[in-house]
Structure formats: C-alpha cells, structure tokens
Chain A
Amino acid sequence: MVEHKSFGARLFNGVNATLLILITLLCLTPLWYILMISVSDKAAVNAGAVTFWPIGFNLLSYQKIVSEVAFFTSFWVSVKRVVLGTAVSLAAILMMAYPLSKTSKQLPHRNAYMWVLVFCMLFNGGTIPWYLVIRGYGLIDSIWGLVLAGSLPIFNVILVVNFFRNIPGALEEAAYVDGAGPWRTFIQIFIPISAPVVATISLFTIVGYWNEFFQGLVLSTKQSNYPLQTYIQQLVVNLNLSTLDTEQIKQISQLNNRSLNAAKIFIAMIPVLVIYPFLQKYFITGITLGSVKE
C-alpha cells in the first residue's frame, strides 16, 4: 500500500501503538496484581503496600491451600461438572443441530422445531419457577443438577445449525451414494469439517460450566457440594459497609487472609488460562461465522 511517511503519520503510528500496548496492560494488570498479592507477605498485603511487585516473596499461601480440604472438594465438584457438562452438552448440541440444518423437505416441520428453540432462548419463566422445578426433580445437592439445570445452550445450537447449513450438500450426497447413513454422515463428515465451530462451542461450554457460581449457590445446601466459583464467592465476606467507617473496614479486611484468598482466586483462573490459548485460534472464525452471516 502506498503510504506517505510524513512526520504526522509516524507520530500517529507511535501514539497508536503505545496506547494499544497500555490498553493491553490494563487488561493484564488485575491478574498480575492478584498473583503478586498471593505471593507476598501477609502483613505487607494487609498494610496495602503491595501494588505491582511482591513484597516479602513467599509461597506460604499456596502451601496452606494444600491442607484445605474444602478447597479441593469444591475444585473436584467443578472438574466433574465441567467434564460431565461438556460431554452432555456437546453431544446434545451437535446431535440436535444436524437434523435442524436440513431443509423442511428433508425434515418435515423443521421451521417449527427451530421456532420452539428460538422461543425458549428468548423467553424464560424466571428464577423462582426454575428453582422450584429443579427442586421438584430432586436435583438439589446433585452433580446432575449442576450439569443440567442451566438447560440446553440454545445459542450454541443455532451457531452450529448455521455452520452446518453452509456445508455443501454435494458432500452429503456423495456420502449417501457411498452407502453411509445419517449417523455416519454426521459423525464422519459433518463433525470433522466443523472443527472451528466445535472448538468454539467447546470453549464456551467449558468456560461456562467452570465460571458458573449462582446455580452452585442455590442448588447446594452444603458447602461440600459447592463448585469452586461458589466456594470463592462465599470466601469474600460481604461486608455491610453501611454500618462501618473507613477505619473499621480496614480492620476487618485485615482479619481476612488476603494472600490466601488471592492464591485461591489465582488457582481458580488457571484452567481458563490453560485451555484458552489452544482454543482461541478457532473461536474468532467460530463466532464471526455464527453471528454475522449473509
């Protein structure tokens, strides 16, 4: 591209690049900050001295977590939930999306099925009926409650339907000519071709189950059934600020072991930090295809 490298253009480029780097750092500082708190000396943290470098570097908080049974119990609940939930939801989403990507001729009433789906995406009975129904099913304090209660992620189904519809029909016809049935065509042709969208919804599903805390809170009556996010949410004491002055708030927050809490928060972030580089190269394709289409 023809570009006149005037002083103004170079100044703009420099300022632009600097700002973008600052913005990027702004997204990372909070994560960095919580890591620094977790590896700093407790007293320094409580005195508010730690900002961007550790003070009195130590790994005591992480050592202390090892002996906390409740933390690991919750971690395990979350792991089970993610594994079961991702398997169940991915299977349900993909299996549902394949027939729905057919025409009304191939699947009679296809549009009616789609409208039921869209209606359920746009309308819900609200939190209270939902809670009472789940309780009625006996899914309180059950791992299956944590997996199923959120219901089918309909947006993901529509994303996959739209992706499948862009796959040339000739491919399917060729498979049928070669004697494959609908299941084989679905599993051996449609799923492998759809790697970007499968990766995208896997990322959303895994992260969604891992991050969810509200269902964990209302569908568990015992702390030992809390998923990790609910456990962490309960750690951060909800101070009633209205009855306290600044000095009192300071004193209470010092009774909390903030280094330890920060270490727990950091560990809770790790799974997301680990899976996201692997899947993120797909998801740009995935979301752009699903959300803006011709």
Chain B
Amino acid sequence: MYSKKNIKHYWLMMAPGYIWLTLFSIVPMFGIVMAFQDFNPALGIFKSPWIGLENFRYMFSMDDITQVFINTIVIAVGKLIGNLIIPLIFALMLHELTIKKLVRPIQTLVYLPYFLSWVILGSIVLNIFGVDGPVNSLLSVFGVEPIVFFGREDLFRPLVIGSDIWKGFGYNAVIYLAALTSIDPSLHEAAAIDGAGRFKRLIHITLPGIKTTVILLAILSLGNVLNAGFDQIYNLYNPLVYSTGDIIDTWVYRAGLVELQFSLATAVGLLKSVVSFILIVTSYALADKFTGYKIF
C-alpha cells in the first residue's frame, strides 16, 4: 500500500518548510559564537578575535544586568501565576452561568483583546492611565492628585502584569472551559441528589475533574520564566521605570541594536536561550511524567 516512491513526494512536501527553517532559524544559531568573540561587523564572524568568556565575565560584573534578570523573573512569574489562576476563576464562573444564552457572546467578546497587538493595546493603556486619562479623572473625584502611572517604579510591574492578564484571560480560559465541559454531568446530578450543594460539588467534582489540565498548564508555563514579554514592555516602558521594568529582551535590544554592542548583547541573549531551553525541556519531562503529555 505505502510504496517507496511516496517517500520522494514526502521529501518534496517537507522541503520548503525545512529550507525556511534552515535559513531563518538554524543558520542564526551559529551566530551565537559571537558571544565568545569581540565581534566586529567589518571583520565578520570568521575573522573577529576570540575572547573566550570575557563577555560573560563583563556581563556579571555589571550591576544593572542582575537587576534586569530580577525584573524579568519577577514580571514573568507574576504573569504565569496570574495567567493560570484568573482564567480558571473566569472559566468556573462562566461554567456556572445559568443563563446559557449569554455564554457564547461573553466568550466571544472576552478573547478579543488577545488578538490585538501590544502596539495598539499599549497605546490604549497609556491613554487610559495617562495624566489626564479616565483613571485619573475618576481618582480626582475622590480628591486624589493626578498620578503619572507609567512614570512610577513601584507601579510599573503591577500595571504590566495586570494588563497582560486582562489581555489574555479570555483566551487562556478556553482550555479550562473545554476541560470543564468534558466532566460527566451525571456526576453532578448524582451528587445533587445526594444533597451536595454547589460549593461541595465544586470542591469534590469540578476541581478534581480539571486537576490534570491545571497541573499540565502550570508545568508547561515553567518554560516561560525568562519570557516577560518584549512587545508589551517595549510599548509601555520608558527610562524612568528601567529600574523595575527593564527585562532581558528589551536590554538585549538596546545593547545590541541601538548601542551596537553585538557581542555583549549576544552573550546575554545566549544565556537566556540556554536557561530557557533547559527550563522547557524540564517542563516537558515533568508534564510527560505527571500527566502523560507528549508534544507529538
């Protein structure tokens, strides 16, 4: 049935994809050697002098890079936790909604922000929290002086985490909702007949029913501990909040493409890539072990 001549066609089908991958993913990977060079664009990768681990030594001697790593982890972990819990609560609320006609419209509308870019949403958020934006006009009713929200180091992280959760909770709830609908309704009926109230059924039926999904999503999100979200931060931050808001990706962008310190920026980027890679592989292994999840 499956003759050998099919294989040639299979190769032909895969060729465009693998060529694309080679040119734009695999070739750039070799660029990481720049992290061990004093890269000079005029000399190129083959002639630039090798300096071993000098870039890494220099990197760890800088005070601000430690802060950048801390910012990245704090913001990313804040987002991971928020993006795990808030969509869960929302999904549970939506699942309990008795007016079934409303379920679909609500779901359709709440995942709209997920599909808009941070360029758009960032400028909207900056407008809303601006000095003369609606939030400040609301606060002024209570006699609060105007707050420069995005100029305050102490407010930047909560604003970033909060707006990220706002953007994604509807979308992130989709998987929970799918898991909730797959719980056998007869379990609920039996429990109700036995006199279990809504809260008891939530604890004993609903939550155990989606436990695997929650654990799986929690484990898989581990891989994002160093991904604080370049697009969002880049569109919301400014030099005044660098101390709490500058993350690895924004730092690498400025050091590399604005200040043209190619080697240093590559070294920092490489460190991030390697740590992220280890985290993701670990998370996949854990997911496989605890939930039997396989990527393919």
Contact = CB atoms under 8 A, between A and B. Distances in A.
Interface string B231-254: 100110011100000000100110
B83 interface: no
A244 to B, nearest CB: 8
B190 to A, nearest CB: 10
Nearest to A289: B178
B178 A133 contact: no
A148 B93 CA distance: 42
Interface residues of A, number: 114
Given A1-B189, A19-B93, A107-B7, A137 B23 contact: yes
Contacts of B128: 30, 33
A80 interface: no
Contact of B32 (A129, A242, A291): A129
Contacts of A214: 230-231, 234
Nearest to A97: B17
Contacts of B106: 20-21, 23-24
Interface residues of B, number: 106
A33 B127 contact: yes
B6 to A, nearest CB: 5
Contacts of A249: 131, 148, 151
A246 B144 CA distance: 14
6 contacts: A113-B14, A122-B223, A125-B269, A126-B273, A130-B24, A242-B240
Interface of B: 1-2, 6-7, 9-11, 13-14, 16-18, 20-21, 23-32, 34, 41, 90, 93-94, 96-99, 102, 105-106, 108-113, 115-117, 119-128, 130-134, 136-137, 146, 148, 150-151, 166, 170, 174-175, 178-179, 185, 188-189, 192-193, 198, 213, 216, 223, 230-231, 234-235, 238-240, 249, 252-253, 256-257, 262, 265-266, 269-270, 272-273, 276-277, 280-281, 295-296
In order of increasing CB-CB distance, the 10 nearest A-B pairs are: A129-B31, A126-B269, A48-B132, A96-B17, A211-B117, A99-B10, A151-B24, A241-B151, A125-B28, A128-B256
Interface of A: 1-4, 9, 12-13, 16-17, 19-21, 23-24, 26-28, 30-31, 33-34, 37, 46-48, 51-52, 91-93, 95-96, 98-100, 102, 105-108, 113-114, 116-118, 120, 122-134, 137, 148-152, 154, 157-158, 161-162, 173, 176, 181-183, 186, 203, 207, 210-214, 218, 229-230, 232-233, 236, 238-242, 246, 249-250, 253, 258, 261-262, 265, 268-269, 272-273, 276-277, 280, 284, 287-288, 291-292
